[in-house]
Structure 1
């Protein structure tokens, strides 16, 4: 497999991961917004407290979706560590998400149902970027590459070839690095 092919495989994996994350996140978004509006319109809770409660419900829903769907192929050996990190990063996302709503509601006085929903959604969007990065980097870590994987073998061959060329004169290095046509 060429370098371009290996890059294509990595890009395809990332796009599949983003799609799965988006699907779970979309369900979480629906749960979050539905719970927020239900609590907001059926109780006397202030807007930010209603939002925090809805966010907690969505966090539970999202963990199940991420662990058993989006990241089911990831390392499962340290569930306590995973859950602790998930909750820690989810709490940070909760602060980001509800900080936007808090600023809009109490800083600018934007508290109509439409404004609350717009800023709740905006907060979720900002927090989602943070959550995607933190979950994939720290919580649901990728397993070490399979040594039998063709892409891994290609990458290792490229690295070995580059290391072998380091000692050769530059013209030889260019000739050896040029693609070979059969």
Structure 2
């Protein structure tokens, strides 16, 4: 079934709200995709070569997911926005994403080092659950909110549809 057919079946009040927030919804879908990429990388390397280094695993997962995020956000989520040279846009995207990686790591660092939820102070299962909740859930949600705001504000600042409309009217 085509996406247009699905959209037509959604009741009008909900459809209008979804269309109003389409950019945020697309960003959330990209976030979900990159969350799976991030989580897959984190656990693949933690269970193999970086078992004793959970923050290093977190950093590697975030870096790989960030590259995927740039491509998906540029081409889909914010495809109606722009206003910057591609190289400048990419530099800003990766700088903001680096800050986002820091935001992602804060809850897990607090869990590990301030709350001492790490082996040998707690059981390995307790550390694993605490790392998942603090890193994969809290950290990712905090970073997602920060990134959405910052990407719209600094990386993709201009709605190209509005600029096009003004040039046609002017």
TM-score of the aligned structures, taking structure 1 as reference length: 0.71
RMSD: 2.3
Residues 38-71 of structure 1 show CA distances to partners (whole Å, capped at 9, x for unaligned) of 1111123511111001000110010010011111
Q: Once superposed, which parts of structure 1, at least 4 consecutive aligned residues long, lie more than 3 Å away? A: 10-14
Unaligned regions of 5+ residues in structure 1, if any? 1-9, 154-182
Shift of 1:75: 2.2
Provide the residue aligned with 2:141 in structure 1: 125
1:60-118 CA-to-partner distances (Å, cap 9, x unmatched) read 01001001111122226510110010011001000111121111111112232111111
- Report the count of equivalent residues: 142
What corresponds to 1:54 in structure 2? 61
State the structure with more CA Rg.
Answer: 1
TM-score (ref. length: structure 2): 0.76
- 2:84–2:156 CA contact under 8 A, matched in 1: no
- Pick one of 72, 93, 102 that aligns with 2:79: 72
Match of 2:73, SS?
helix
